[in-house]
Copies of this chain bind each other. A is one copy, B any other.
Amino acid sequence: MTATVPHPRQHAGERLLTPGEVATLFRVDPKTVTRWATAGRIGSIRTPGGHRRFRESEVKTLLAELTTEATEPVRNA
């Protein structure tokens, strides 16, 4: 396991995700998530130790923006 369970008790639903969790959501390597943060494509919060945390809301929004639905119906349905 990585950490504690999700917190229902945060500021304003400001849950944070670890690089590994974000990597799982996008099905990529955690290293890639780090590069996104370095490139400024996704906001990040650094711990005093240097590790990164990501806003869950931002990650979800990003996922939604990059999601494309099928526009043509299946011909054999």
Contact = CB atoms under 8 A, between A and B. Distances in A.
Given A4-B1, A9-B5, A27-B3, A68 B46 contact: yes
Given A4-B1, A36-B49, A66 B62 contact: no
User: How many copies of this chain sit in the oligomeric assembly?
Assistant: 2
Chain A interface size range: 35 or more
Please classify the interface of chain A as helix (H, G, I), strand (E, B), loop, or mixed, using the class held by over half of its residues.
Answer: loop
Contacts of A37: 68
Contacts of A29: 3-4
Interface of A: 1-5, 7, 9-11, 15-18, 24-29, 32, 35-37, 39-49, 51, 53, 58, 62-63, 65-72, 74, 76-77
